[in-house]
Amino acid sequence: MAGFVTDMGGNIVEAEQHTDTHDGMFFQRVEFTTDAVTVADDELGGCFAPVAERFAMDAQLRFTEWRPRTAILVSKPPHCLADLLARAHTGELDIDVGQVIANQPDNESLARVFGVPFHHMPVEDGDRAAQEAAVDERLAADGTELVVLARYMLILSPWFVDRWAGRLINIHHSFLPAFVGASPYRQAHDRGVKVIGATAHYVTAGLDEGPIIEQDVTRVSHRDDVATLTRRGRDLEVIVLARALRAHLSHRILVWGNRTIVFGS
Amino acid sequence: MAGFVTDMGGNIVEAEQHTDTHDGMFFQRVEFTTDAVTVADDELGGCFAPVAERFAMDAQLRFTEWRPRTAILVSKPPHCLADLLARAHTGELDIDVGQVIANQPDNESLARVFGVPFHHMPVEDGDRAAQEAAVDERLAADGTELVVLARYMLILSPWFVDRWAGRLINIHHSFLPAFVGASPYRQAHDRGVKVIGATAHYVTAGLDEGPIIEQDVTRVSHRDDVATLTRRGRDLEVIVLARALRAHLSHRILVWGNRTIVFGS
Amino acid sequence: MAGFVTDMGGNIVEAEQHTDTHDGMFFQRVEFTTDAVTVADDELGGCFAPVAERFAMDAQLRFTEWRPRTAILVSKPPHCLADLLARAHTGELDIDVGQVIANQPDNESLARVFGVPFHHMPVEDGDRAAQEAAVDERLAADGTELVVLARYMLILSPWFVDRWAGRLINIHHSFLPAFVGASPYRQAHDRGVKVIGATAHYVTAGLDEGPIIEQDVTRVSHRDDVATLTRRGRDLEVIVLARALRAHLSHRILVWGNRTIVFGS
Amino acid sequence: MAGFVTDMGGNIVEAEQHTDTHDGMFFQRVEFTTDAVTVADDELGGCFAPVAERFAMDAQLRFTEWRPRTAILVSKPPHCLADLLARAHTGELDIDVGQVIANQPDNESLARVFGVPFHHMPVEDGDRAAQEAAVDERLAADGTELVVLARYMLILSPWFVDRWAGRLINIHHSFLPAFVGASPYRQAHDRGVKVIGATAHYVTAGLDEGPIIEQDVTRVSHRDDVATLTRRGRDLEVIVLARALRAHLSHRILVWGNRTIVFGS
């Protein structure tokens, strides 16, 4: 890998590898400059193909300037949406938010504040399939490259999840695998746990079962009722989602089975 | 309560209360000096009975000099046992360790180092009931007031758990309710979590379902294989168990349903 | 206290106390409903005066519906400002942001997004005193009740600090008392620490020496250069400042000497 | 490096590198098997010399089976000593504890429990120099390879520190650089911090200024007086010291200026 980069005129900025001895796999991320690389960006992948073949590598080439067209899906709670929009506005997160899609009307003014189109797309007459198809269409129409479920409370169908696989990130308000599904803070309270958490993960067909990107927790006590857990958890959700997105945006995540390698973490 | 203490000649050292608005319950812990109290220690409870009755309180009187006769049950891993014996030796934990009971022979020398009797009580011919009955007998014979499961890998029968209810504390090597049962570090690795944890709880009939006393977690990454998780988890287990015991020993824990109020936390 | 509340027709919602045995002080916070209280809000304090006098209490009466007129002072970094404005917008923080005052022009568009007046008040010709006097005047003119230094990089004069004492909250980007003053992330990197932190505190005349309201930290490693520390620290600063403000807004903080009692924490 | 290992018949088990772009330095740790290496262990370094020279590397060769002869220096508090002895006993820490040296008599029985020689070496007639020289002599006589200051409260002279440079590890009971010197928990209480910490570091001539190996913290509140901070801090000290020693024992630490690179962390 190092030889290839040097030969092309690149300069390695950062390199990290990981060996999974259990599965006998080797993972590597190499970031290099392309200023002095003479071949065109879109030819670089082709140049690497022989190297990848020689070592039976599964290789991907990505560019660091990437600023993906992003859609944020949300229900009622505004905190993750507000945080993402603020981070996108200040440049803290390098995403181009094309639209906010919501099955509830509540967050319209928040999206408008940041000048982002807001589409209220409720489930009508209980027809979830129709709503989902409409959402999918709208995502496609906007050239969406990344979908963030920022407290979107509808469960997505397998076909939808497959179509957006690897580009669909959810924030769940518990330290998974504890408290899958609805009302995790209520579940946490009833179980009497002394820590609560949040988990950002790629969405797969199994509910809250996709590869975990990032988790964090905070201590709680018997003094914290469900409302307090919910309020304290909001800060966790926001931070965990932002960290996960940052790792995704800088191409630091490799998914292997149901696990992630997050380089630089 | 304050009036009663003053009337008896006591002086409140520490008082904490907790209101559970959801269940409409009020919990209180009042710690007071008895130097100037004129009635005998064993009459104090009787003096309080009318007050308790008047306010329909469920009241318990405990003394702070308590140093319970303790049995430690263990299987192979030595770290929790070693830590408890060291803390008992230095006075950090106020327990009088009467015996170590193990279903495996490994930790005999460790117990001997600290001059504590070690009883190897394996399950023979698969007869768990017999072993459990023998353990129970030995506990009773030693005047045991507290049983600590310091990585004891046998599941206890409901009758045993009932008999030692409120006096039986377990350390489980996961942040419950995640990863109940065997090999939680293996489970954690396979799920790809980014934090691991440990949980100390009172044992009840449901496996790993008793009231949680204390939990803590530590961050992990893709670099940590099962062996590393296990090693890093050991420090967590030790600390979480010690904190839980300290709270129990200082009568700071009230159990309410499947939850604990831990005063001073 | 309980007697007084009951006599007035109030109902205690939450009560917490703290005894500082070292200083021989007793601190208490009692929150009660006033729906059934018959005297007017502004007469309630007067009714309590005899009780306070009898027990030589230093007492303050505050109302929970408080939504203080707030000014945010900022220099270049936008993250704390963005977060506060977003939280104020969603109602997560109960503040009425009257204006943003900045000695740098950078955050004008951010304030405008949220419809908050932005005043660029740079130090001109090195005349800090003049700038400070102008800021003070503008704060007063707006009926300001709370001033938040959301990464405001100018040191304030003692007279200014005195005038806004108890109403002036700063976020400092280190775990104080480590790394007082400028460039704490640079200082942290040079010292080679393995954790970085953030501290929210009331401002007093001594630089970064006021009573600490809230602190938190995050682990770092040799891999984190100053830029990475700075980026990771931003999330800490935001959360720590928000938690401190929440405690202040709900009247949970008592200042005693250079320390704070934060009830409910 | 990889080429050299392969040529010698070794197999790389683990490799990690770190680039310090600020200082223009490259650091690398490569762990490899030597089963199939044909040259003798003590010739391996010589074989590598030409490679090191060619790339102007500063290289060190260490063996993983290392179990250094260790001396533990301690004053009164027993918790770190007890923990180290227990970990050495169970094999959790791969050290061969040759002796415990103490300027106070308190911990003699604890050392005896584990069968480790205990030398009470107090400062007599205020002659610190004499005591220090005697300690040094005793360390040398025992073939000491590692000295652990497990709450040893005497400040060591520069000559002593120089002599044991890189082999002298201290646990300090604060998150350095905060609260250097005596009574850090008292200092922490007086400053009103909301987190306390512990720091393990290599000892250098400047008091508490050596390269930090490991730090950790725990949250505290106004409820914690100095005694409680001290008790809660003990668990931190024990864990932080153990983690630092583990990194040292597995040759994972490189010191660069006043900072450490801790591979695998």
- The string of pLDDT tens digits covering residues D161-206 is 999 999 999 999 999 999 999 999 999 999 999 999 999 999 999 8
Classify D35 as helix, strand or coil. Answer: coil
Partners of residue B14 in chain C, C-beta under 8 Å: 19
Against chain D, the chains showing at least 3 CB pairs within 8 Å are A, B, C
**Which residues, listed in sequence order, are joined to residue C16 by a DSSP beta bridge?**
C29
pLDDT higher at B14 or D107: D107
**Is any Cβ of chain B less than 8 angstroms from the Cβ of D44?**
no
Judge whether B78 is closer than 8 Å to chain D, CB to CB: yes
Tell me the chain B residues in contact with residue C55 when contact means C-beta distances shorter than 8 Å.
none
Return the pLDDT at B91. Answer: 93
Partners of A85 on chain C (C-beta within 8 Å) are 86
Q: How far is Cα D107 from Cα C159, in angstroms, rounded to an integer?
A: 54
User: Distance (Å, rounded) from C-alpha C244 to C-alpha D76?
Assistant: 39
Q: Are the Cβ atoms of D17 and A15 closer than 8 angstroms?
A: yes
- Which pLDDT score, from 0 to 100, does residue B20 have? 87
C208 is catalytic: yes
Q: Which residues of chain A are modeled with pLDDT < 70?
A: none
Task: For chain C, positions 107-136, list CB contacts with chain A under 8 A.
Answer: 110, 113-115
| Structural domains of chain B sorted by starting position, each given as residue range(s) with its CATH number in brackets | 2-54 (3.30.70.260), 69-262 (3.40.50.170)
Measured between alpha carbons, how far is residue A20 from residues A100, D221, D252 in Å?
39, 42, 20
- Chain D residues in contact with C213 by the CB 8 A cut-off are 194
Q: Are D99 and D127 in contact (CB under 8 A)?
A: no
Interface test with C, best of B12, B18, B19, B218 (most C CBs within 10 A): B19
A19/D14 CB distance under 8 A = yes
- Residue C24 contacts D, CB cutoff 8 Å: no
Which of B194, B243, B265 would you mutate first to test chain A, the one with the most A CBs within 10 A? B194
| A221, A226, A259 ranked by CB distance to B262: nearest | A221
Q: Average pLDDT over chain D, rounded to whole?
A: 95
Question: Which residue of D lies nearest to C227 if distances are taken between CA atoms?
Answer: D22
Contact: B92, D234; criterion CB under 8 Å = yes
Question: How many beta-carbon contacts under 8 Å exist across B and C?
Answer: 5
How far apart are the CA of A155 and the nearest CA of chain D, in angstroms? Answer: 37
The pLDDT, as a whole number, for residue B189 is 96
What is chain C's alpha carbon radius of gyration, rounded to the nearest angstrom?
20
- C-alpha closest to that of D70 among D169, D146, D156: D146
Average pLDDT for runs of 10 along chain B of length 265: 88 86 89 91 92 92 94 97 95 96 97 96 96 98 98 96 97 96 95 98 93 97 94 96 97 96 88
From the list D215, D221, D223, the residue facing C193 with the nearest CB is D215
Contacts of D178 in chain C (CB under 8 A): 175-178
Contact C85 A86 (CB under 8 A): yes
- Shortest distance between the Cα of D231 and any Cα of chain C, in A, equals 17
- The reported pLDDT for the residue numbered D109 is 94
The rounded Cα D197 to chain-centroid distance in angstroms is 17
> Between β-strands C212-219 and C195-202, what pairing exists: parallel, antiparallel or unpaired?
antiparallel
Q: Supply the DSSP symbol for D207.
A: T
- The residue-averaged pLDDT of D20-44 equals 90
Q: Is A20 on the interface with D (CB under 8 A)?
A: no
Residues of B forming the active site? 208
- Out of D79, D114, D243, the one facing B90 most closely (by C-beta) is D79
Q: Which tokens is D137 given? A: 């002599």
- Cross-chain CB nearest to D192 (options C21, C217, C258): C258
CA of C14 to nearest chain B CA: how many angstroms apart? 8
Given the residues C208, C216, C224, C235, select the one marked as catalytic: C208
**Complete DSSP assignment for C63-106:** -TT---EEEEEE-S--HHHHHHHHHHHHTSS--EEEEEEESSST
- Using a CB–CB cutoff of 8 Å, tell me whether A33 touches chain D: no
Residue C247's contacts (CB-CB under 8 Å, 6 or more residues apart) are: C213, C214, C253, C262, C264, C265
Q: Is the Cβ of D92 closer than 8 Å to some Cβ of chain B?
A: yes
**CB contact, 8 Å: D33 with chain A?**
no
Give the number of other Cβ atoms within 10 Å of residue B147's Cβ. 25
Please report the DSSP string for B46-82 in residue order.
HHHHHHHHHTT-------TT---EEEEEE-S--HHHH
Is residue D242 less than 8 Å (CB to CB) from chain B? yes
Say if residue B121 is exposed, middle or buried (CB neighbours under 10 Å; 0-12, 13-18, 19+).
Answer: middle
CB contact under 8 A, A82 and C79: no
Burial B130-139 (b: 16+ CB within 10 A, else e): ebbeebbebb
A241 shares contact with chain B (CB less than 8 Å): no
* A107 SS3 class: coil
Res. D265: pLDDT tops 80: no
Instruction: Name B43's Cβ contacts closer than 8 Å, sequence gap at least 6.
Output: none
Q: Please state whether beta strands C96-102 and C69-74 pair in parallel, antiparallel, or not at all (unpaired).
A: parallel
**Across all residues in chain C, what is the average pLDDT?**
95
How many CB pairs below 8 A link C and D? 99
Q: Which amino acid is at B36?
A: A
What is the structure's pLDDT at C88?
96
Give the closest-approach CA distance of B162 to chain D in angstroms: 32
pLDDT number for residue B239: 96
CB atoms within 10 A of CB C125: 7
Chain C interface, mutation test: which of D28, D222, D258, D265, most C Cβ atoms within 10 Å? D222
Q: Is the pLDDT of residue C231 over 80?
A: yes
Bridge-based pairing of strands C168-172 and C195-202 is antiparallel
Q: Can you give the pLDDT at residue D254? A: 97
Q: Is B264 on the interface with D (CB under 8 A)?
A: yes
Contact (CB<8Å) C192/D214: no
How do beta strands D212-219 and A69-74 pair?
unpaired
Query: To which residue do tokens 């936008």 refer?
Result: C78
Contact C93, C81 (CB under 8 A): no
> Which residues of chain B neighbour C17 with C-beta distances below 8 Å?
15
Look up tokens 């409370």; give the residue: A153
Mean pLDDT of C207-233: 95
Chains touching B (3+ CB pairs < 8 Å): A, C, D
Residues of chain C contacting residue D258, judged by C-beta atoms under 8 Å apart: 190-192
Question: Is A52 in CB contact (< 8 Å) with chain C?
Answer: no
Tell me whether A64 touches chain D (CB under 8 Å). Answer: no
- What chain D residue is nearest to B76 in terms of C-alpha separation? D90
**Residues D227-244, mean pLDDT to the nearest whole number:** 96
- Which residues have C-beta within 8 Å of that of residue B248, sequence separation ≥ 6? B146, B169, B213
A11 touches chain D (CB under 8 A): no
- What tens digit of pLDDT does each residue of D127-150 get? 999 999 999 999 999 999 999 999
Q: Is C37 an interface residue toward D (CB < 8 Å)?
A: no
